Amino acid sequence: MSKKYFGTDGIRGRVGDFPITPQFVMSLGYAAGRVLAGVEHTTGQRSAVLIGKDTRISGYMLESALQAGLIAAGVDVFLAGPIPTPAVAYLTRTLRLQAGIVISASHNPYEDNGIKFFSASGSKLPDEIEHAIEAGLEEPIKIDSPAHLGKAKRLDDAVGRYIEFCKSTFPTSMNLRGMKIVVDCAHGATYHIAQHVFHELGAEVIAIGVHPDGKNINHGYGATAPANLRKAVVEHQADLGIALDGDGDRLVMVDSAGVLYDGDQLIYVIARHRHEQGRLRGGVAGTLMTNLAFEHAMQKMDIPFLRAKVGDRYVMELLQQQGWQLGGENSGHIICLDKHSTGDGIVSALEVLHALRTQNQSLSDAAGGLQLYPQILINVRVARGVDCLGHADVKAAVAQVEQALDGRGRVLLRPSGTEPLLRVMVEGEDKQLVEQSAQQIADVVRKLATA
C-alpha cells in the first residue's frame, strides 16, 4: 500500500507549503505519539522520544509544533538541539527511547525542511509504523487528561555523547597525528562536532562551513558544493579534505591535489581495506547508480556485489537481507553496519582514514585502483502518464546502444519520483560512445514526449 506523506526518507517539502506547516507537523507529532504510546503500553511506562534538528531557521518553528503534538499524546520529549541525523539514531538507541525524530531536509536549500523518524533500534521506521502514523493523521488532536500529558527536557550532553561515539569507532591503537585535514560542515548540523572528532584523534584541523546563520546551510559549502573545500585543501597544503552535508549523513573527500572522490570511490577504499584484512563480511551493496567500474573492481577482488534501488533506505534493506555490513551510494551515503545502525558521514570518514593509516597511503593512492567510467545523465521532461519505458521505439534504442557498448557499459532509464522526468543514464569505458548513446536514447524519448 502506498503512503500519502512519507517518502523514502521521511516527509519533506518547502516550508510554509503543505505538509511542512506548523499545523500539520503538530498533528504529525500527535499521531506519531499515539502510535508510539500504543506500542509502549506493554511495559506500563511512558513513551519517550528524542528530537534533533539541523541549522535551518525553520527548525525552531517545526520543533515547537512537533513537541506540542507529542506532549499532547502523552509522550515525553528530549530536545537535543542542532545535531546530525546519525547522532539522533545513536542517542535514540543508547538512551532506550521509543523513537528519534530529525527535523532536516538534508542537502536541500534552507527554504526546505522535513521530518524523518528512527525506530528504537536506530534504524528507519518500518513501513507498517509509517502507515499507522498516516492513519492517525486522520484523527483530531484530543487530550484525554492533563495528568497524562508528556514533559520536555533539554539533553544538554547530546553533542559530547556523540563526539565520543564517533571517536570510539576508530581503533584505540591508532591516531591521526601528523595529518592536516580540512573539514567542511556545510554550515549544517556537524558545525560544532566534526572538527572536534578529528582534532581529538590527533589531526590538525582547518574547519570551514562552520558558521550557520539559519539560511546558509549547504550554500556554497558541504558535500553538494565542494569547490571551497578543494580550494582550501590546496591553499593550506592539507593531506586531504572532508565534506559533510547539512545533516551529516553524507560524505565526499578531496585529496591533497584538490581532486574530489565520491561515495563509490570511498566505499572502494573501505571495501578493499576490509577485504585485505579479512574483515569484510559477505559483500558490498550499491544502487542502480553505482558506477559500473566499481562493480568490475569488486569482481576482480572476488567480492560479491548487489544493487538496490536508489536511496540509502533500500541499501540498508539489501544489507540486512544479505547479512552484509558495507554499502552505500555514489552520492556519499555510506553505511557500515558494524559501526552504526545508519549512514554516518563522520564515521565513514574515519573508516577511510583507518584504511589510509593502516596502509600508509594517501587518498589518491588508496583510491587509485578504481577508475570510474564516464557516466552521462540526461533528464527528459515527459507528460505524466506517458509510458516511455514500455514503448517499442525506446526499447529498440536501448537495445541498439547496449549492442554498441558490447558489455563494456550499461544503460539505465529511471522515472523521477518527484518530477515528470525520465532520467536517461549511460555509462561505459568509451566517453565519446557514452555521450552519443545517451543523447541517442534521449532524442527518442523526446519525440515520444512531444508527439
Over 80: is that where the pLDDT of 154 sits?
Answer: yes
Most confident of 41-50, 83-92, 420-429: 83-92
111 CB-side CA count, 13 A: 2
Q: How far apart are CA 127 and CA 313, in angstroms?
A: 11
Using alpha carbons, list the distances in angstroms from residue 160 to 53, 182, 193, 244, 451: 16, 21, 8, 19, 60
Mean pLDDT, range 381-399, rounded to an integer: 88
Q: Which CATH class is domain 161-259?
A: alpha beta
Q: What is the pLDDT of residues 323-337, one digit of tens each?
A: 999 999 999 999 999
Alpha helices in 176-325 (DSSP H): 194-200, 227-235, 263-277, 292-300, 312-322
The CATH 3.40.120.10 domain(s) of the chain lie at 11-156, 161-259, 261-366
Per residue in 420-447, pLDDT tens?
889 999 999 999 999 999 999 999 999 8
Cell of 386: 506517458
43 confidence band (pLDDT: 50, 70, 90):
low
Is 50 exceeded by the pLDDT of residue 114? yes
pLDDT tens-digit readout, 166-179: 999 999 999 999 99
Q: How far is Cα 413 from Cα 421, in angstroms, rounded to an integer? A: 10
Average pLDDT over residues 18-34: 97
- Catalytic position from the list 27, 58, 104, 106: 106
437 included as an active-site residue: no
Asked whether the predicted pLDDT for residue 44 surpasses 70, the reply is: no
pLDDT digits (tens, 9 = 90+) for 196-244: 999 999 999 999 999 999 999 999 999 999 999 999 999 999 999 999 9
**Alpha helices (H) in 124-224, listed in sequence order:** 127-136, 158-168, 194-200
Q: Does CATH number 3.40.120.10 belong to domain 261-366?
A: yes
Query: Within the chain, which residue ranges are assigned CATH 3.30.310.50?
Result: 375-450
User: How is domain 11-156 classified at the CATH fold level?
Assistant: Alpha-D-Glucose-1,6-Bisphosphate; Chain A, domain 3 (3.40.120)
- CATH top-level class for 375-450? alpha beta
Cα 411 to Cα 277: distance, rounded to the nearest angstrom: 34
What confidence tens digit (pLDDT) does each residue in 291-322 have?
Answer: 999 999 999 999 999 999 988 989 999 999 99
Could you tell me which residues come within 8 angstroms of residue 248 by beta carbon, excluding any fewer than 6 positions away? Answer: 84, 85, 86, 87, 185, 188, 189, 190, 193, 194, 344, 345, 346
The answer on pLDDT for 41 being more than 50 is no
* Residues present in the chain in total: 451
Which helix or strand (DSSP H or E) is residue 411 part of? strand 409-415
How far apart are the C-alpha atoms of 314 and 107, rounded to whole Å? 19
Q: What is the pLDDT of residue 221?
A: 98
Q: What is the pTM of this model?
A: 0.93
**How many C-alpha atoms does 366 have within 13 Å on its Cβ side?**
31
Rounded average pLDDT over 140-157: 93
